[in-house]
Amino acid sequence: MKVQRTWMLAAILIVSGFVATSCRQAVKEIPAEEDCSQFVAVTDVVPDAILEIRYYSTYNFVAARIDGYEEPLALMTQQAADSLRAASDDFRKLGYCIKIYDTYRPQMAVSHFVRWAENLADTATKHCFYPNVDKSRLFEEGYIAARSSHSRGSTVDLTLVDIATGKDVDMGGVFDWFGMESHPDCGGNPETMEYRQNDTITAAQFQNRMMLRSVMLRHGFQPIDSEWWHFTLANEPYPDTYFTFPVKRLLQTK
């Protein structure tokens, strides 16, 4: 009887060990760049934001839907979305709502841009997006790069819409225009917000850009030197992580 009990105990220990090992194997750790658990849909946080997700459509400089954009959604880290909500509230007090062109951009989308830029024979969209820049210079001039702050989840490309008229605010240029005309300092000093007479944008257009810039700055977003529409949360939570999951509805989105 004692031998039988010993045998049964040994069998139980073996089975228990097998189950424990199987459970450990089943719980697979998600790589950091694939973890979307801290992201939210922007429209769940900023319900009145207008979405015009250009990379889900063919209306972009590649003239095709970009890899990784499976749905026309705007995703951001919770911290960035909360700050964008605060900025949106301020814009609304001024009579405007935000229109979003792009937020989180998976690394596969950035790689798609790189492949397009390396194909110098494809200039189908040159007249619409980069008429004054040779395609061979897009990397050198910083319009295309192998990494993007968008992939870190706390960057937004946006403009403003006049609530009274329903029309886009005139910024003196269009989204994703590759050229000096898109630079915040085109037509003035973005630090002092003083207009400088020029033949590219009017004083009103420059002031519209500065209005967008000043509110975004007030709520913790930082601009860049080449695009008036681009802002990144200064204290972004994942400054070194370039996420890879696709743009699609998140299961945990409230």
| Catalytic residue list | 227
Task: Count the neighbouring beta carbons within 10 Å of the beta carbon of residue 96.
Answer: 21
Q: Phi first, then psi: give them for residue 29, nearest 5 degrees.
A: -75, 135
At 108, which helix (H) or strand (E)? Answer: helix 107-118
Nearest residue to 66 (alpha-carbon basis) of 116, 8, 18, 9: 116
At 99, which helix (H) or strand (E)? Answer: strand 96-102
**Quick check: helix, strand or coil at residue 50?**
strand
**Quick check: helix, strand or coil at residue 193?**
coil
**All residues at 6 or more sequence positions from 100 whose CB lies less than 8 Å from its CB, including other chains:** 42, 49, 50, 51, 52, 53, 74, 156, 157, 158
- The single-letter DSSP state of residue 196 is -
Q: Which residues on adjacent β-strands are paired with residue 81?
A: none
